[in-house]
Chain A
């Protein structure tokens, strides 16, 4: 009985030691991954910051104004003035929807008795 108990204890200690070892390395691995991810987040943020700055720089009002002046012939952009506001009634009514085609129109040459021109392109 006592021998069995000893063996059980030894085995359980070995098992626990193995588990602790595994946990330790998994934790270290996770921490490394977290550090890595943080580094990536940092890089992405810095990229995002630069892209935002570039976006703002490219969209600065002075540049947009100069571009719209330069391309006036094609774009015809004008500053928004009060007369740019419309009213709902200015929007044309949508056309009534077409009714579904119910009467089938037969197209057939059956019973056609006219002269057939062989040079005619088929429709």
Chain B
């Protein structure tokens, strides 16, 4: 800036010449200068003020905005947000309970034991002491590991509190504990096949993943591990019924000298599996390894009720009869020719007994005539039979919520000929699992709507697709009731429960192909109770049973599976709250009560 002098020489000289006062010039110039300075300061102050007010505006709007955000958002505690939920989650795997809330699988806190050999003070002593606490450890191997150059070593995955204290007492800083969650199945082998089992996935020092390896544990693995759904998984099983079924089935299997057994109790309205057992079974707390040799079907891990597909024999006759009745081809009193043998090509179909020239449709089922059922099948035809069995779900794996469900794939004939048509009508040539059979029976007897078996508790009945008419369902139930009152399943009569059902004794096919065994059968009883007001379907299947109580060994279902099923119904029906329909009191006591 050029500073203008207060006393410019030109004007001073001029003033001096004219004799004016030079003071006035100086004052005037000074006044100008002051004015300029004032102007400059004023504009600077104005801009500062503007800047300051801008700063204040920004600051206040920030604070105001934050206050508005705080006021409009929900109150949250800052420390909780870090933990990722409304409350700290204890167990990272949800419990599994039965339909009444009784625990089937839960978690326990335990510890794992590991070693950092570099930190060990006295490796020799530690190895000896550890081998004393855990007798299954090899002391030489431990010693080698402890004195070698390993930096880290798992010793035990889970240890009990007593063992932990004993290890503490060794007092070596190189022996360390890590917290572990352990999956516990408090009921031992009860419902073992359904629950499956679990094992550790990725393992760290401070925690380890628990992952399901089979059954429900595996199917619902993601749901059980989801930390946002800590509520227990409620199954449709009833622990008491399940354990009773297993107990009765176990003693029945022993009594009938069977290799294996399976049993299912299914609610006909909801499709809930109330109990499902397969023997032999295992303890999911200590799940055995899959067998490396022999047939997998002989392993206790094999779930006969779900994975075992068998030709189940005469229990299938119900389907042929139901379809023939539903299509209006026959009625229960229609006479069907049963003169044998029925020949097809070089194949002959025979009956167990000779039932004479003809029987009614009802009696074909009650007496279990293969020839009669084959004649019904011939009336139905291949396409309609395939469509009907398909609509009952007998040609595809079940959709039950278990990891093994897809492996229970029915075996259908490669070429569905007229011969297959006839043999399938009495249960040969199409192999399905007992669970398929239970679901199909439930569909037939519940009034004719499709039942999809499920392992989750349902609150209301399933309204499935209609497969047969309610009238046909009534007729079939009446026929099934007669099978028990005057037919092959007479031992299934349980007073008060109006059991209806059908037996099936199917010769086992030889493993290497080429025909069937003469002395090995799968004997099955599939029934409904009470027949007049259907509530539950029961399927009991025994593998190679033989009843040796009589003079000749008996293998048919009527003498093997049926008595076991009757005992199961006698024991479980009261547990499920079914009241026997028996007139137990004499008329005079009614008189006493009438008031």
Contact = CB atoms under 8 A, between A and B. Distances in A.
B574 interface: yes
A74 to B, nearest CB: 22
Interface in B284-319: none
Interface in A42-84: 42, 45-46, 49-50, 52-53, 55-57, 59-62, 65, 79-84
Give chain A's interface residue range (CB within 8 Å of chain B).
Answer: 20 to 34
Interface in A18-57: 31, 34-35, 38, 41-42, 45-46, 49-50, 52-53, 55-57
B107 interface: yes
Contacts of B111: none
A82 B589 contact: no
A59 B83 CA distance: 35
Contacts of B243: 61-62, 65
Contacts of A90: 585, 589
Contacts of A52: 103, 106
Contact of A89 (B80, B88, B589): B589
Contacts of B83: 38
A115 B53 CA distance: 123
B108 interface: yes
B582 interface: yes
B195 to A, nearest CB: 13
A23 to B, nearest CB: 14
User: Main secondary structure on chain A at its contact with chain B?
Assistant: helix
A87 interface: yes
Given A61-B240, A80-B575, A50 B580 contact: no
Of all A-B residue pairs in the complex, the 4 with the closest CB atoms, nearest first, are A89-B593, A61-B243, A56-B186, A56-B103
A60 B189 CA distance: 10
A75 to B, nearest CB: 18
A38 B88 contact: yes
B91 A81 contact: no
Interface of A: 31, 34-35, 38, 41-42, 45-46, 49-50, 52-53, 55-57, 59-62, 65, 79-85, 87-90
A50 B108 CA distance: 6
7 contacts: A31-B77, A46-B109, A49-B91, A50-B109, A55-B103, A60-B187, A80-B575
Given A31-B77, A49-B90, A61 B187 contact: yes
A85 B186 contact: no
Contacts of A50: 108-109
B91 A82 contact: no
Given A56-B186, A56-B187, A61 B574 contact: no
Contacts of A41: 87-88
Nearest to A93: B592
Contacts of B187: 56, 60-62
Most buried by A among B79, B103, B107, B582: B103
A81 B190 contact: no
A105 B86 CA distance: 74
Nearest to B593: A89
